[in-house]
Amino acid sequence: MSTAPTPPVAAVLPSVWRQYHALTKPRVIQLIVFCALIGMVLAVPGVPTWPQVQLAAIACFGIWLVAGAAAAFNCVVEQHIDAKMKRTAWRPTAKGQLTNGKTLTFSAVLCLAGSTVLYLWVNPLTMWLTFATFVGYAVVYTVILKPLTPQNIVIGGASGAMPPVLGWAAMTGVVSPEALILFLIIFLWTPPHFWALALYRVEDYRKSGLPMLPVTHGSEFTRLQILLYTFVLFAACLMPFVMRMSGWLYLAVAVALSIGFCGYAFALWRNYSDALARKTFRFSLIHLAVLFAALLVDHYL
């Protein structure tokens, strides 16, 4: 009787590494760290000194570790839901490639390492805020809110809006009104962003049993909520200029992006299609990334 050959270690390790790397949801983590970095930069007047650059790099690393831990924990909790949805069925926990024990150990190690880095080399406030964000996302949102209420994205969005606050606290040791304005922008951006996705993935969410707004209240109601949120978000995006955090360059970019987002939301409300919902979702990503990039550029002009 012949047996299958054992794959060489060199071939196994990259595969296992990719599985653990996938648990951290790299694309989401990149946006989290980017938003935290914006908070760090805006918290420092003028060009940062070399020690400040080093502090920002260490803080980004610590935040990345804890955010990755939260993402891995989320994969464990939602593995059965992920397996039912095309968008997430590829995840290692959904496919059974990594056990719950391995994933939870990986999450715990990342969280402990990130918290240690932030506590020892940044400041205790940033560590506690980052850990609170971990609990808010991994436990309060994922375990409690997401399966319980269609307002899960609205309430749980507070955790996703924390990165600029973490960045600001890392550089200053305090949470200022300016940091809370950045928090408010992401908090209001989150519902229309995710609801646009949920509209064209509604059957996936229906199969999963999650009470997403298009499932519980229908497409028309969800589209109206997206439109209303983009209007409120428009006002929030003007606040950095009103509060003199930024100048005319940022204002011009914020107005253009907000008009674009409202335009997509209005078109979606009037005449729905899956293709338009996808375009709205993609534009929402562009909206947040370019908006914060404009804040960064404007800061140095």
How confident is the model at residue 14, as a pLDDT? 59
- Pair (154, 275) in one structural domain: no
Structural domain includes residue 290: yes
Query: Residue 188: which domain range?
Result: 176-301
Domain with residue 34: its CATH number is 1.10.357.140
Provide the number of structural domains found in the chain. 2
Indicate if 131 and 229 belong to the same structural domain: no
- pLDDT at position 28 is 86
Instruction: Tell me, yes or no, whether 14 lies in a domain.
Output: no
- Greater pLDDT, 56 or 210: 56
151 shares a domain with 32 = yes
pLDDT of residue 1: 38
Q: Is 286 helix (H, G, I), strand (E, B) or coil?
A: helix
Least confident range of 89-98, 108-117, 173-182? 89-98
Within 10 angstroms of residue 220's Cβ, the number of other Cβ atoms is 11
Residue 278 has pLDDT above 50, yes or no: yes
Task: Flag whether pLDDT at 5 surpasses 70.
Answer: no
For residue 266, the model assigns a pLDDT of 98
Same domain, residue pair 37 and 141: yes
CA neighbor of 170 nearest in space, from 7, 1, 39: 39
234 and 301 both lie in a single domain? yes
State whether 190 and 291 are in the same domain.
yes
- Residues 155 and 221 placed together within one structural domain of the fold: no
Would the pLDDT of 231 be above 90? yes
pTM above 0.75, yes or no: yes
- Higher local confidence (pLDDT), 179 or 16: 179
Same domain, 147 and 163: yes
- Residue 250: inside a domain: yes
> 6 falls in which pLDDT band (50, 70, 90)?
very low
Q: What is the mean pLDDT of residues 249-276?
A: 97
- Same-domain check for residues 135 and 196: no
Residue listed under structure tokens 């550029």: 297
Do 77 and 165 belong together in one domain? Answer: yes
What pLDDT digit, counting tens, does each position of 53-104 carry?
A: 999 999 999 999 999 999 999 888 878 777 777 777 767 887 778 888 988 9
H-only helix segments in 161-238: 163-172, 177-200, 202-208, 213-217, 219-237
State the chain's mean pLDDT as an integer. Answer: 89
Q: Which tens digit of pLDDT belongs to each residue from 255-267?
A: 999 999 999 999 9
Q: 85 vs 65, 73, 186, 207, CA distance in Å?
A: 27, 18, 26, 8
pLDDT at 100: 86
Position 119 in a domain: yes
